[in-house]
Structure 1
Amino acid sequence: MSQVYVLASAPGAGKTTTALLLERHFLGQGDVHTYLNNGCHHYTVPLEATKSREAFERWAPGGYDVLIMEVTCPYTPFEAPYLTPFDAFNEVVPLEARADWKSFVFTRTLEYWKNYLSTADFDPTELWDTVHDRTVQTVVTRAPSPLDGPCVDTGRVLHHPEGFVCDTVEPRMTLPRSDRTAIAVGAFPGEYREIFPNLTWYRFDYASFLQEFRAGAYDVAIIGMCLNERLKFRDRPERPSIICYQPSVYCDLEKPPKNLPLKDNFGSILSAIHERAVGEPIASDGGAYSSYNNRFWTYRPHPEREMIWREKNVVFCNGWVLPQYLIREGFLEVK
């Protein structure tokens, strides 16, 4: 059995900092590239793992005494489900928002989604009661001095970690190990580091990566995501396997649609995730969340393309497609 500590909050509240400090605490001392930079074993939990405690355990990695899960925007329909399997979670709250946390959530969630929705006519706290229907421990961040309960001070020191709440799970996921050599650049699912222990990550140093990429002295190359959609690669080695999470480096793609209408309320999407089989539509076509209507329930930035496609030795991933899916569907060979 493993203990699982769930941290949830609105963006910018200090979750990733708290998660890293908690991890260091348990070792005795969020974005994905932040975890990679800090040498953490980072795993992505897919939406299908939220359907039950048993489903979560199938995706929880074995071999750890403690798991720390970070949930961003827990009051939205694609993040709230991650709390469903658990009886308790830790809500990370900045000190300045502590007095009126619900208003802070309302405002911050509205700000977050205004760039993606064509209307602001919705209640960002619609799922407030659903989220809080379990034990909730407040963890205060940005405290000028230690408080009585769990908190992180302005010097990034964690206090009272024994006050965090946790659940217990029985992890069942094991990843294959390969002796194949791999190189990577950009942001990519952290599972690759476990699958390929000999992986060399060039962070966001594309010049150094491309130098090795051209040489071809490796078995697998992973081109991760970056924010620069104009980035193009002239080089395309013909022999090694290439997994590309930034299809725009080789393909001319339509820009992802923005400001789509909100055709579904949050509650209906949440119900669909709980009740429907993985791969069935969970949002209305043409609506803000229709990009999740695919066989993995994973956000697909380019709706005109498949989730995965192959061109010669390059496998293109249209979104954060986990290597477990690529292995299962025959797109990634692990020897």
Structure 2
Amino acid sequence: MTSDRLQRFRDRLSLPLIAAPMFLVSGVELVVAACRNGVIGSFPTVNCRSTEQLEQWLGEIATRLQQHADQTGRKAAPTCPNLIVHRSNTRLEEDLAVLLRHRPEIVITSVGSPAPVLKPLHDAGALVMADVASIRHAERAAEAGADGLVLLTAGAGGQTGWLNPFAFVRAVRAFFDGIIVLAGGISDGCALHAAEVLGCDLAYMGTKFIATRESMADDRHKQMLVDSSADDILLTTAFTGLQTSMLKPSIVAAGLDPDDLPARGAIDIGKDIDVTARENRPKRWRDIWSGGHSASGVTDVLAVDDLVARTIAEYRGAGGR
């Protein structure tokens, strides 16, 4: 399945793949390395400490990718900022204004309807893809005019979906002819090709990109993924209030029992009377690390160049073009 909306980028992609936008993990180095290897590089705008830093990141990414194109004669894959559209993002309007100035080719919206930002982003020439975790959310995003849907399925790292990817993709493809991106469980090129056969245009790969030299993740997080398998991933609401895939070993290292966690969202809510206790409390994302079911496919910490080359070989070996 190849959506016509992706044709403008097709000759710039080595794989139908997005390096997933990951909180506190995706930064300039990871995005640049992914894009110059023909993989769409994405990052949450909230990974930048300020709107000013977002401006700097986008400028640096664009400059380095243009230098790459000048040196190689090959234009890099698109850069794809990820915009949190939920009301909790107090920088939404400011970050959107920065994106409109830089005119990214693709933008992914998360945690809410893309409707409020669709027109300005479309006017700026961007394709807008919305992440969704249910059939109803997919229908609403499609009705709003999203160019693509990122289907969050069971097995994705971090805040995740719960639907089986086979059922979810086929149900959405029955009513949506735009871009479909599968998020969850893509551990190698064979799985990527399977996603295409299922009816997807692109897929996320997140967990394996955490364990790259260019990611901003703590080195201990990277090694923990190498040492872990899918059995070490725990789906819990304890840290965010939403279903979130976390690494059990990081929970244990923080002094918590994965089998006896507090109630929904009770950890890290910042309501301790004792200030010292609040400061020492394990922090989600900083101390409690995420990972997806594809942790079983992480066998070493690689440079992005090597990860993409390996994935291309797997993809072609499985019958991908």
Q: TM-score, normalised by structure 1?
A: 0.29
Report the structure number with the largest CA radius of gyration: 1
Higher share of residues assigned helix: 2
